[in-house]
């Protein structure tokens, strides 16, 4: 119920803020009792059209994540740092995706933190620098923090490279897959991820998954 009320509050706030603009809000999706929270950067074109996070190309990235970790989508809560699709006009005159601005991140971040507090997933997995820095702080970079469990503001964060980055740097694919195996091994060993396996109590945390644009 907390999440439902928060979503109503968000819809009302951003409907007023973006009145008259075509900026559909893409809210998070999943159980309030999720074992893992996945937080992306921002919705892409398909997410904005369908009003759902992690569909289209981003959905294929999520499917790969689920296969590698042995989790099911029903065990996750999935969302984004920014809840609208950031766009620009390309040289060819097409509307394309762009990274969210600092102002957009700052606008949505308080809502994200309230959202994660309502879900209280044991671990937060982040994909890419935007989600990592938003939740863990600007002192972190994905190159240094990937595959390591971090503690930040009562959250346990497990950063991963953005799957889209593998297209531009194929050498990262092996690193990304190693990090996924480490995440799964930790869950299987009931170490710091014990609640992923047995649902035991632990401090709130969330997993951030960065959408492919």
Kindly report the pTM of this predicted structure: 0.85
Q: Domain ranges in the chain?
A: 2-198
C-alpha pair distances (Å), 55 with each of 48, 125, 160, 213: 10, 18, 19, 11
- Quick: pLDDT tens for 131-184: 999 999 989 999 999 999 999 888 999 999 988 787 788 888 899 999 998 888
Classify 4 as helix, strand or coil: helix
Q: Does domain 2-198 have CATH number 3.30.465.10?
A: no
Helical packing angle, 57-69 and 172-188, nearest 10°:
50
pLDDT of residue 64: 84
- Asked whether residue 71 carries a pLDDT value surpassing 90, the answer given is no
State the residue for tokens 């047995």: 198
| Structure-token pair, residue 89 | 């006009």
- Quick: pLDDT tens for 113-126: 999 999 989 999 99
Say how many residues make up the chain. Answer: 213
Question: Running DSSP on this structure, what letter comes out for residue 142?
Answer: H
């Amino acid at each position: 119920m907390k999440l439902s009320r928060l979503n109503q509050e968000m819809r009302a706030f951003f409907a007023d803020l973006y009145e008259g603009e075509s900026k559909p809000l893409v809210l998070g999706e999943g159980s309030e009792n999720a074992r893992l929270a996945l937080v992306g950067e921002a919705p892409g074109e398909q997410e904005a059209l369908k009003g759902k996070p992690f569909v289209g190309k981003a959905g294929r990235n999520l499917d790969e994540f689920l296969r590698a970790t042995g989790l099911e989508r029903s065990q996750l809560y999935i969302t984004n740092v920014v809840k609208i699709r950031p766009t620009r006009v390309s040289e060819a005159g097409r509307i394309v995706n762009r990274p969210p601005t600092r102002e957009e991140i700052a606008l949505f971040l308080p809502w994200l933190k309230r959202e994660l507090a309502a879900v209280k997933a044991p671990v937060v997995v982040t994909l890419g620098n935007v989600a990592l820095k938003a939740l863990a702080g600007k002192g972190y970079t994905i190159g240094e923090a990937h595959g390591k469990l971090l503690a930040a503001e009562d959250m346990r964060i497990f950063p991963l490279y953005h799957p889209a980055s593998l297209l531009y740097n194929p050498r990262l694919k092996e690193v990304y897959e190693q990090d996924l195996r480490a995440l799964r091994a930790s869950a299987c060993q009931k170490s710091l991820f014990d609640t992923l396996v047995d649902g035991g109590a632990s401090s709130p945390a969330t997993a951030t998954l960065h959408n492919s644009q």
